[in-house]
Amino acid sequence: MHYEYTIIENDFANAGTASSSIKKTLKQLNIDSAKIKRVVVAVYEAEVNAIAHAYGGTIFVDIDSDKIVVSIADKGPGIPDIALAMQEGYSTASPKVREMGFGAGMGLPNIKNNVDELDIKTEINVGTTITMMLKF
């Protein structure tokens, strides 16, 4: 199964739409609820990061019998220092984003902690693609 979702810059009202849709699909496939929770947390964090830090993008989801692979490709500023961005509490969120309750610096660490494999490709002033995989 293949799904795609569009990410719109600063569209916090729809943050979680893709992760909720994925959750519904995985429930219908009778995937273990603990695995579903891990997927949903990781996708939600990536979704919010793309909304807050990028200028739009796309979420690509591929589900087969033994795993889910999700890629989030954005058109953002890129991540200058991935190792720094992976540190809990590090954030480049704007004051506006923080006022809305986002930007605590837990996005990438939460993604890493909830998936089996994580790959981050980034290019400054071009964008970032985060690919995550979780086995069922």
What is the predicted pLDDT for the residue at 98? 83
**pLDDT exceeds cutoff 90 at 6:** yes
pLDDT at 96: 84
Domains and CATH numbers, the chain: 2-135 (3.30.565.10)
| Alpha carbon distances (Å) from 82 to 12, 23, 38, 114, 136 | 24, 28, 22, 18, 27
Distance, in Å, from the CA atom of 2 to the CA atom of 27, rounded to the nearest integer, reads 16
Closest-CA residue to 83 (of 49, 109, 102)? 109
Cβ contact 25:2 at 8 Å: no
**By CB neighbour count within 10 A (0-12 exposed, 13-18 middle, 19+ buried), where does 115 fall?**
buried
* Chain segment 56-108, per-residue pLDDT in tens: 899 999 999 999 999 999 999 999 999 999 999 998 888 888 888 888 888 99
Please report the pLDDT score of residue 105 as a whole number.
Answer: 83
From 8-12, 17-21, 125-129, the region with the lowest mean pLDDT: 8-12
Residue whose tokens read 């891990």: 38
Determine the pLDDT at residue 35.
98
User: Which pLDDT tens digit goes with each residue over 16-51?
Assistant: 999 999 999 999 999 999 999 999 999 999 999 999
The pLDDT of residue 17 is 95
How many whole angstroms separate alpha carbon 33 and alpha carbon 44? 16
Q: Is 41 exposed, middle or buried (0-12, 13-18, 19+ CB in 10 A)?
A: middle
- Average pLDDT for 122-127: 96
DSSP 10-47: T-GGGTTHHHHHHHHHHHHTT--HHHHHHHHHHHHHHH
pLDDT of residue 93: 87
The pLDDT value recorded for residue 122 is 97
